Amino acid sequence: MRHLPAFFALNGKSVLVAGGTAQAAQRICILLDAGASVTASAPSFDAAFDDLRRRGGIDWRAGWPGAGDIAHATMLFVATGDRARDADLAAVARGARVPVNVTDRPDISDFIMPAVVDRGDVVVGISTGGTSPVLARLVRARIESVLPARLADLAAFAAGFRDSARTLIGDTTARRRFWERVLDGPIGQLVLAGRERTARAAMLRALNRPAASAPPRGAVAIVGAGPGDPDLLTLRALHVLQQADVVLYDELAGRDVLAFARRDAEQIYVGKQKANHSRSQDEINALMATLAGAGKRVVRLKGGDPFVFGRGGEELDYLRRHSIDAMVVPGITAALACGASAGIPLTHRDHASAVTFVTGHLKNGEPAADWQALAKGGQTIVVYMGLSAAPVVRDRLLGAGLARSVPVAIIENGARPDQRVSIGTLGELDGLAKRHAGGGPALMIIGNVAALADAAVIPALAEAS
């Protein structure tokens, strides 16, 4: 983030706009909407200002502003159409410590102007750091299409009950959850539908209900974060993350996914790497129960899917036995994400009618697997967490009768920008695994489908490895 998003209170403040161009006129329109007292200064003004002259509320000055004019302004907008003059005026503003924005010149601006979605008191600003105004407008159009037209009415409705809610619901957490139920529930829908009278009656009933001020009840959501690409996070996972008071996350969850949590949510790392556990599973279970018992909404964020080698079943069982409300939000498991990102279908009518997920974690020096069953043809074998066990996996499958020539793929950091892929045969599995030693999380796909890896992607990735 190169620019700090901020909203200025300009109502009644003196703002100076230097320039008679169409860009300057656009700036003035926005400033007037924000309640600013605008002074427009230029030797001449083009036709874009005709409507503004009829609108009124602008102090017109002939000529370029001087140092004294700039020094008395709250902020300065420059759009003269002359790059040298723009730079000179910006330098004067900086000397007077007046924030300045120069149209299409982020390099000499103190702040930039975002694309704006305006819903009354609800305002969304979209910025690309000045690099692509067109992209900012495209993003604005997407947001415009999903925000309700009466969103400003909902904000005003909430403002009208804010003091009452604060008085009746003293606990901060309980009050926040109350507002979440109102704004994201039936009352909010009534307001957005234009039925404000009905919504007000429902709001009064909700405020006076004893449950509104009751101490908040904690709960745990065991959430699959997918492979770490935030675009592959499910909508339900996003919704739960944004409501969480505490997020317990592991090594595979991905920092980009954590960015979607509430900014004031506490984040606690509880990752478990090979021979390096920050907390034991028993400690994680107890921590979840303690936090939920204190009224917190807890998200246990796991890479992939919680129920596929994620110990989510153990955690859910523990929470149920301790009478903690719990839910599971599935995620895209590594096998699906890695296969898709490398162009490898896990099943295929001509090559594999079944797929088996196997953990590569060694127990007594041996992965727990039925090698004879796995060596049968017409299926795909996906080995999780199996790099260190690659020699054992190879030898057991060969010993069970699987051919050395069977295609295999190793996908590291699947579906992430730093993804690396190696393609070979079962006989080469140990050597392929060594290419990825010390890297990110990796997954092995064994079977004829591995030969179908995307030819346009694999050569470049193999070269990078």
Question: Which positions are catalytic?
Answer: 250, 272
CB within 8 A of 145, min separation 6: which ones?
A: none
Element (H, E) at 381: strand 379-384
Pairwise CA distance, residues 447 & 386, whole Å = 16
Q: What is the amino acid identity at position 285?
A: N
Element (H, E) at 445: strand 442-446
CB within 8 A of 25, min separation 6: which ones?
A: 45, 46, 48, 49, 52
How many residues are recorded in the chain? 465
Pairwise CA distance, residues 175 & 195, whole Å = 24
Burial of 281 (0-12, 13-18, 19+ CB in 10 A): middle
State whether the Cα torsion 391-394-400-403 is positive or negative: negative
The DSSP letter of residue 147 is S
Pairwise CA distance, residues 150 & 324, whole Å = 38
Pairwise CA distance, residues 78 & 24, whole Å = 7
Pairwise CA distance, residues 304 & 249, whole Å = 12
Element (H, E) at 174: helix 172-183
CB within 8 A of 28, min separation 6: which ones?
A: 17, 38, 40, 52, 58
CA diameter of the chain = 91
Cα–chain-centroid distance for residue 440? Answer: 21
Q: What is the dihedral of CA 26, 27, 32, 38, to 10 degrees?
A: -130
